[in-house]
Chain A
Amino acid sequence: MRFRFCGDLDCPDWVLAEISTLAKISSVKMKLLCAQVLKDLLGDDIDYDKVTKLTADAKFESGDIKASVAVLSFIFSSAAKHDVDSESLSSELQQLGLPKEHTTGLCKSYEDKHSALQGKLRETSLRLGRLEAVSWRIDYTLSSSELKEVNEPLIQLKLQAQGAESGSTETTVVSVSANKFRVLLAELKQAQARMNALQ
């Protein structure tokens, strides 16, 4: 059985198993649980006390609580990843055995936060060496130990970027002469023109 929200692959066995666990809580509590899981996926902290209270009626053990949070996380992030609309998600979840009221609650929450989720996932996509800050300074060299009258402008560029392998901020300082800087600027303007053509 191929499911769109799993990326046209089979649904993992553990998801099937935990959907039956999800069916044990009432649909109102299910909607509140979805709201908590969505908060977690969008970057805010999840409030575990609230989650425990929500699942206390159905007498979930800690393993069940973790499993239901995990399966909801999977459904939301996977559906957002493959850009599934909420009607298809609703029909596929009902095929897997999630009761109708639970499915409607889940899909309503999904629809509300669909674009926010996709934005967050886009932000956390792999990017190496992200540029964080640029600062510059122009100096004018008057004289040096080699030559008495130098009289040349010099630009110092400080680039702060995330290291490609380490992920922590690395600072690079470069000093560029006027001619070299003109070449750099011309090349970067050409690259910018091509990028604008793609937008």
Chain B
Amino acid sequence: MLLVLSEEHKEHLAFLPQVDAAVGEFGRIALEFLRRGTNPKIYEGAARKLCVPVEMVQHGVEGLMFLMTESSKHMISEVDFLDSVLVLGFGEELNQTLLQLYLQHHSQIRSILSQLPSNLPAYHNLEWRLDVQLASRAVRQQVVPMLTLRLLLTGGGNGGNDRSGRVLQTDPSTLLHLISTLEAALAAMKTSHARRIFRNIK
């Protein structure tokens, strides 16, 4: 599929042929922007070196970054990428540089983009201990087996690095029920209905 670039986007990218040699450098700045956010000092430094206003540099970098993310998002092929970029009217060499930039970094960009949407808390780790209660203040000579669990979860809408824990306690019969329910859930993946659906997802 071809990327359709808006007029504003094309204007921003029109800055790029003026800095032919430094396009690689701009590509690097654009990717750092994706990973860590903007750094105005870099824009100012570049603007001073090239004697152009800071906004032009900023728009050029942002335009380049948007081009990369849109291309990576749709996973467009080399030919489609070249055709989309042809619209901008750049020279052959510049097109090839952009293509190289895209090919080198598109898997990284995709992995960064995949971390963006917020997600539900996910399993991280489960710690457990098995205890036997022998006596309490009220009753002596007991035998009560108990399983204490700490479920560690990541995520929950704040990014992948948030850890939260839940402490649970269960007796052996509930534990057996829990195990059989989870095994039934796993077995549901092997039914013919589920297999039919998996086969049809490429």
Q: Identify the A interface with B (CB < 8 A).
A: 125-128, 164-165, 167, 187, 191, 194, 198
CB-nearest residue of chain B relative to A166?
A: B165
Assess A126 versus B128: contact at CB under 8 Å? Given A164-B167, A167-B165.
yes
Contacts of A165 in B (CB 8 A): 165-167
Q: Residues 166-177 of chain B: 1 if any A CB is under 8 Å from the residue's CB, otherwise 0?
A: 110000000000
A164 to B135, CA, bound (A): 22
A61 to B52, CA, bound (A): 44
Q: Identify the B interface with A (CB < 8 A).
A: 127-129, 134-135, 137, 140, 148, 150, 165-167
Closest 4 CB pairs of A and B: A126-B127, A126-B129, A194-B135, A126-B150
How many residue-residue contacts, CB under 8 A, span A and B?
23
A128 to B148, CA, bound (A): 9
CB-nearest residue of chain B relative to A197?
A: B134
A116 to B95, CA, bound (A): 61
CB-nearest residue of chain B relative to A194?
A: B135
Q: Do the beta carbons of A198 and B134 come within 8 Å of each other?
A: yes
Contacts of A187 in B (CB 8 A): 137
CB-nearest residue of chain B relative to A125?
A: B129
Contacts of B166 in A (CB 8 A): 165
CB-nearest residue of chain A relative to B135?
A: A194
Q: Do the beta carbons of A128 and B167 come within 8 Å of each other?
A: yes
CB-nearest residue of chain A relative to B127?
A: A126
A170 to B112, CA, bound (A): 38
